[in-house]
Chains A and B, each alone.
Chain A
Amino acid sequence: MELLSKAESAFSGKIVESHTHHDNATIVLERADLIEVLTRLRDDPEFALNMLVDLSAVDFFGQEPRFEVVYHLYSLRLNHRLRVKVRVAEDEAWLPSVTALWKAANWLEREVWDMFGVSFRDHPKLTRILMYEEFQGHPLRKDYPVAKRQPLVEERDPIANPWNKK
């Protein structure tokens, strides 16, 4: 609670929404303020949130804006946690990359891109990480069918057309 009020006073006007449900302090930001606020949260000794514990997204399909990208921060020195969220619309599904702030963001942002299709500008190598490059679509989107199959190579019947015969 204390952390949240500190954040609210430090970033007044930049916080769209905030709450402490289930003891998890949370602030929601605009995309334009993300880098500035995260940098200050990391470097300001009052917050000292030096670890990007996790980065993921949630697809609120049917709502506007559709995606919520969630950053979980932790301070090793002050032992507190803060959740930072940014909402992005489907047709504008991008955020600035935080790879310059935390090295861990590199793989995490690739995963969010792979699974949700939210891209990150200025990421050094934004490629898929869990699925293969030829994969179509983003599997954790709510409108991606659960049972959809995407074979990488053409399927063939090994009895009618054995591997050792052309």
Chain B
Amino acid sequence: MAQEAPPAAESLDPTSEVMSLQMGPSHPATHGTIKFDLTLDGEKILNLETEIGYLHRGFEKMCEQRTWNHVVPYTDRLNYASPLINNVAFALAAEKLLEIEVPERCQYIRTIMSEISRITDHMTCLGMAAAEAGAISVGFYMMETRELLYDLVSAVTGARLTVSYARVGGVTQDVPHGFAERVRDTFGDIDKILSDCDQLLSKNRIFIERMSGVGAISQQDAVSYSLTGPLLRATGIPHDIRRSQPYLVYDRLDFDIPTGTQGDNYDRFAVRFEELRQSKRMIEQALEQLPEGPIRVDDPRISLPDKKDVYGNIEGLMNHFKLVIEGVKIPPGEVYIPVEGANGELGFYLVSDGSGRPYRVRVRPPCFFGMAALGTMLKGHLISDIITTFGMVNMIGGECDR
């Protein structure tokens, strides 16, 4: 019986022609419904188009239906890794519209909590990225340190992730007794784990070769794509809103801004790692300087009363009722307030029409811009480099598509 001739050798060669491949939308390494449309030459990426998926929760639309303080819990969900920064940014923007300034103690507490949040965010990013690159132990160690910090967060706010801590005009409650000692104890534990992680990664040949020279972006492209935060600093631009346009009490704290030189994944990793140390420095200084005093503005038209007044007397109850039902009356106007989020510039553009509800809430999400630049970062690299680069962009679904 005549046998069929075997196919020609070149038609079996998968690298002989360009291949289209869709990665995602539920790939285990892309936390969220991200889809990459890849054009490949073998394993080499010729083109990468990113689709950020349809998780869209309509954050901005929901905010228009609620009072100003009702928006605070929604801002938690923008970024589960650093919800306190989102809380604080929104409150700062609303306060700017009201033209009020919160008491000094509150500003210090907000600064401390924002920096704790930055550490937990960087821990999540670095730990997950290391685990995705194969260093699973580092992933576990980083998660452990993050848990230690979440204990502090829950001692202050009563929750670990859905903190809802900031309010227009202050914060919900003061830090607990002995908080400063507790933070210092926790930092003692964290230092040891961090030095272990440093030793496991910083001179690890496999890790360096997977990160170094991969996913690089030039300074010019980084600016054109409006990259901010660690992604911009890794290219060598020392731009940090905490320094360039200080808010809260950052102008009273001494800290360095780490930068990279290559703008690649290794620099992004190194910048974030150094920022962990800088944030700890800032928290220690802020705890030293923490003054006594009130934690919210003394104005019943703006600040919610203490819970003991709500349950204890009729004035407190009425005050609470009016503010919850009608909302804080913010005069008509518009404002844009940027803060240094863990991923970059987090901005709130608010428009008020004078009612108790925001007319428009626009969030400037930092990782949205990093995702837009992903194609440029990855052109010419291999499929496996998508994982590490995506990890270093640190996309958070809630923030990216809101």
Contacts and interface: CB of A to CB of B under 8 A. Distances in A.
A129 B50 CA distance: 10
Interface string A146-159: 10000000000000
A22 interface: yes
Contacts of B376: 103
Contacts of B223: 50-51, 76
A53 B56 contact: no
A72 interface: yes
B369 interface: yes
Contact of B368 (A50, A72, A107): A107
Q: Which range contains the number of A residues in contact with the other chain?
A: 20 to 34
B110 to A, nearest CB: 19
A129 B34 CA distance: 12
B242 interface: no
Interface string A84-123: 0000000000000000001110110000000100000000
B334 interface: yes
A51 B244 CA distance: 15
B349 A54 contact: yes
Nearest to B232: A76
Residue of A107, A115, A142 with highest tally of chain B CB at under 10 A: A107
Interface string A24-52: 10100000000000000000000000111
Interface in B349-402: 349, 351, 359-360, 362, 364, 368-369, 371-373, 376, 401-402
Given A54-B349, A79-B245, A146-B65, A102 B335 contact: no
Contacts of B239: 76
Interface in B23-61: 52, 54, 56, 58, 60-61
A160 interface: no
B226 A52 contact: yes
Q: Which range contains the number of B residues in contact with the other chain?
A: 35 or more
A21 B225 contact: no
A115 B401 CA distance: 12
B3 interface: no
Contact of A21 (B65, B334, B372): B334
A148 to B, nearest CB: 11
Interface string B323-352: 000000000011110100000010101010
Given A22-B335, A72-B364, A104 B54 contact: no
A131 B96 CA distance: 32
A50 B223 CA distance: 7
B349 A140 contact: no
Residue of B226, B245, B335, B368 with highest tally of chain A CB at under 10 A: B226
B116 interface: no
A163 interface: no
Given A104-B225, A130-B54, A146-B65, 15 more contacts: A21-B334, A22-B97, A22-B333, A22-B335, A52-B226, A54-B226, A54-B347, A54-B349, A58-B360, A70-B349, A81-B336, A102-B224, A102-B225, A106-B372, A144-B61
13 contacts: A24-B336, A51-B223, A53-B226, A58-B359, A70-B362, A103-B221, A104-B224, A104-B369, A130-B54, A130-B402, A139-B58, A140-B60, A144-B61
Interface of B: 52, 54, 56, 58, 60-62, 64-65, 96-97, 99, 221, 223-226, 237, 239, 244-245, 333-336, 338, 345, 347, 349, 351, 359-360, 362, 364, 368-369, 371-373, 376, 401-402
